[in-house]
Structure 1
Amino acid sequence: MGDWRQLLIPDTPLWEIALRGSVVYLTIFVLLRVLLKRESGSTGVTDLLVIVLIADAAQNAMADDYRSITDGMLLVAVIIGWAYLLDALSYRWPAVARLVNPGPLLLVRDGRILHRNMRRELITEDELFSQLRQHGVERLDQVKEVRMESQGQFSVITRSKAPRTGR
C-alpha cells in the first residue's frame, strides 16, 4: 500500500496545473477549429477535445505520472471548466458562438462549385461528389446548394421539381 500523503497531497503547484491545462486545451481547441473543421465528423470539436484530454489527464493520475490523485483531478476539472465556459459564453454572446462554432460554409450554389470555399477547407471535387452521392444526388445540376456545417457534416439541398401544369 502506498503512502497516503503522497497519494493525496499535490506535488505540483495547483496554479501550474491549471495553467498547463488551460494552455493545452486552448491551443488544441484553436488548432482543431482552424485546421480540422471537416475532420471532426458528428462529434463536436469541444466534445472530442474534452474526451481526449480527460482520458490523458486521468491516465496520468492513475499511472503515477503525477504523484497525487489531486494533480490529475485538478487537470480534469480545468479541462471540463474550459469546455463549460466556452459553451456558456457561446450561449450568452453570439460573437463567441461564431468563434467556437463558425457558420456553415457554402460549397455549391445553383449547381456551380465555389472553388474558393472548397480550397479554404481543402475539399476536393471527389470528396464533394462522394458527399452528393451519399445524399442521393447524381448530378451537380440537381443541387441548389451544399454547405459544410460547423461540425464538419455536409448539408445538401436539391432543386425542387417544378409542379407540372396542365393535365
Structure 2
Amino acid sequence: MFIPDMLFQDWTGIARTIVVGALAYAGLVAFLRISGKRTLAKLNAFDLVVTVALGSTLATILLSESVALAEGLVAFGLLIGLQWLVARASVGSTRFARMVRSEPSLLLRDGEMLRGAMARERVTEEELEEAIRNSGKADRTQLAAVVLESDGSFSVIEGPVRDLPGMDKSH
C-alpha cells in the first residue's frame, strides 16, 4: 500500500460517504424523533450503551462499503426498538426495572461519608470531594446528602436530611 492510497483512494468513496452519510444521518434523526426523548436519555448504563451503539452503527454505515444503507437503517431501527421495549417493560414492571437499572446510592449523610456505600460504588473520597466542590459547596459538614445517581452523576443536597425518595438510607 502506498502512502498516497492512505490519503486518497478515489472520488467514488468520497461520494459514497457523502450520500450514504447524509441519508444515514437523516434516517437516524427520523428514528430518534419517532422513538421519543427517552431513547437518548442519560438515565443509566443501558441507555449509554445504546447511545454508543447508535454512534458506532452510524460510523460503520459511513465508512464500511460492505454495509449497505438499508442494513444500517435496520440496525438503527433494531437498537431503538429494543431500547423502547426495555424502557416500556421497565415502566410496566418494577422487577424488570431493577434488573436493567441501577438505583441511586447515598454516599454522604449529614456531612459524614458512608464508606461502605462508597466502596460498593467504587467512589473515592477525592471523587466525592470533587463532586461537592463542583456543586459550589465548600464544607461537606453543612450538607444533608450526596447521592450517586443511576446515571453516574452526583447530586449534592443542602439542609437537613429528609426522606429522600428512592434511596436506601440503611448504608
Class of the TM-score when normalised by the shorter of the 2 chains: 0.5 to 0.7
**How many pairs were matched up?**
120
5 Å-filtered alignment, 1:134-145, equals 134-145=134-145
Unaligned residue ranges in structure 2 (runs of 5+): 1-11, 13-40, 161-171
Does the CA contact (< 8 Å) of 1:66 and 1:72 recur in 2?
Answer: no
Does the CA contact (< 8 Å) of 1:60 and 1:66 recur in 2?
Answer: no
The answer for the alignment partner of 1:26 in structure 2 is none
How many angstroms does 1:65 deviate by? Answer: 4.3
SS at match of 1:137: coil
Unaligned residue ranges in structure 1 (runs of 5+): 2-41, 161-167
- The aligned amino acid for 2:61 is A
5 Å-filtered alignment, 1:138-153, equals 138-153=138-153
Structure-2 separation of matches of 1:66 and 1:101 = 35
- The aligned amino acid for 1:43 is K
The answer for the alignment partner of 2:117 in structure 1 is 117
Structure-2 separation of matches of 1:133 and 1:59 = 37
Q: Give the TM-score normalised by structure 1.
A: 0.61
The answer for the alignment partner of 1:128 in structure 2 is 128
What do residues 96-141 of structure 1 show as CA deviations (whole Å, max 9, x unaligned)? 2223332210101222111111112221111111111222322232
Residues 82, 140 of structure 1: alpha-carbon distance in 2 compared, 3 angstrom cutoff: same
The answer for the alignment partner of 1:79 in structure 2 is 79
Q: What is the percentage of aligned positions where both structures have the same residue?
A: 31
Q: Which has the higher contact order (CA 8 A, sep 6+)?
A: 1
How many angstroms does 1:67 deviate by? Answer: 4.6
SS at match of 2:155: strand
The answer for the alignment partner of 2:169 in structure 1 is none
- The aligned amino acid for 1:153 is S
How many angstroms does 1:47 deviate by? Answer: 4.1
Structure-1 separation of matches of 2:63 and 2:133 = 47
Does the CA contact (< 8 Å) of 1:106 and 1:114 recur in 2?
Answer: yes
The answer for the alignment partner of 1:20 in structure 2 is none
Structure 1 segments, 4+ long, off by >4 Å, are: none
What do residues 80-105 of structure 1 show as CA deviations (whole Å, max 9, x unaligned)? 11111111111111122223332210
The alignment's C-alpha RMSD in Å is 2.3
The answer for the alignment partner of 1:103 in structure 2 is 103
Q: Give the TM-score normalised by structure 2.
A: 0.60
The answer for the alignment partner of 1:29 in structure 2 is none
The answer for the alignment partner of 1:91 in structure 2 is 91
How many angstroms does 1:142 deviate by? Answer: 0.9
